[in-house]
Chains A and B, each alone.
Chain A
Amino acid sequence: MVLERSYEGIPVPLSRKSRALTSRALSELQLEPGMLAQDVVDAVATVLGKPIFLEQTVDERFKKTTGSFALTPNFALIVFRGIDPQAYQMHSLFHELGHLLCRHRECSRPGTQLETEALELVLWSEAEREAEFLAFKIASLISRKSRSIQAFG
Chain B
Amino acid sequence: MMRELATLMLYLTGLILVLRAPYALGVRASRPGWLAGTCGLIAIICLGFVVPVPTLDAAMGSMGYWNLLGATSTTSAFHFMYRAILIHTSKDSPPYYRRVLGLGIITYSAAFTMIAGEQNRFTSVEAFIAALIRQPWTALYLSVYLSLVAIIAALSLAAILSSANRSKIFVAGFSLVVLGNAVDVVLLWMQHFNVVSMALSTLLYSVYVSAFFSGAILLCVGFLRGSVRSLREFCTFLAYALRLRRILGRAGQDKRPLLDVARQPKIACYQMLIHVRDLVTLKGFALNTPEVSLTHKADALLIDSPIKSST
Question: A interface vs B, CB < 8 Å?
Answer: 9-11, 34, 36-38, 41, 54, 56, 66, 84-91, 93, 110-114, 117, 119, 123, 136, 139-140, 142-143, 147-153
Contact B281 A113 (CB under 8 A): yes
A119 to B253, CA, bound (A): 11
Q: Is B296 among interface residues, defined by CB-CB distance under 8 A?
A: yes
Contact A37 B84 (CB under 8 A): no
Q: Which of B88, B278, B307, B310 interacts with A151 by CB under 8 Å?
A: B88
Interface secondary structure of B, over-half rule: helix
Q: Which of A11, A93, A153 has the most CB of B within 10 A?
A: A153
B268 CB to nearest A CB, Å: 8
A68 CB to nearest B CB, Å: 15
Contact A9 B299 (CB under 8 A): no
B271 CB to nearest A CB, Å: 6
Q: Is B266 among interface residues, defined by CB-CB distance under 8 A?
A: yes
Contact A37 B273 (CB under 8 A): no
Contact A150 B29 (CB under 8 A): yes
A104 to B271, CA, bound (A): 23
Supply 13 A–B pairs (Cβ within 8 Å), ascending by A.
A37-B309, A37-B311, A38-B310, A56-B311, A88-B277, A90-B303, A90-B309, A119-B279, A136-B274, A139-B267, A147-B90, A151-B33, A151-B87
Which residue of chain A has the shortest Cβ distance to B90 in the bound complex?
Answer: A148
Q: Which residues of A contact B281 (CB under 8 A)?
A: 66, 111-113
Number of interface residues of B (CB under 8 A): 51
Q: Which of B227, B306, B310 interacts with A152 by CB under 8 Å?
A: B227
A113 to B241, CA, bound (A): 25
A123 to B84, CA, bound (A): 46
Given contacts A85-B273, A85-B296, A87-B299, 14 further A-B contacts (CB under 8 A): A9-B268, A36-B309, A37-B310, A88-B299, A90-B307, A123-B278, A147-B90, A148-B87, A151-B32, A151-B88, A152-B30, A152-B33, A152-B84, A153-B23
Question: B interface vs A, CB < 8 Å?
Answer: 23, 27, 29-30, 32-33, 84-85, 87-90, 222-223, 225-227, 229-230, 256, 260, 263-264, 266-268, 270-271, 273-275, 277-279, 281-284, 295-296, 298-300, 302-303, 306-311
Q: Which of B222, B229, B270, B299 interacts with A143 by CB under 8 Å?
A: B270
Contact A150 B273 (CB under 8 A): no
Contact A87 B222 (CB under 8 A): no
A117 to B227, CA, bound (A): 45
Q: Which residues of B contact A11 (CB under 8 A)?
A: 256, 271, 275
Q: Which residues of A contact B310 (CB under 8 A)?
A: 36-38
> Given that A85-B277, A113-B282 are contacting pairs, would A143 and B88 also be in contact in the complex, using a CB cutoff of 8 Å?
no
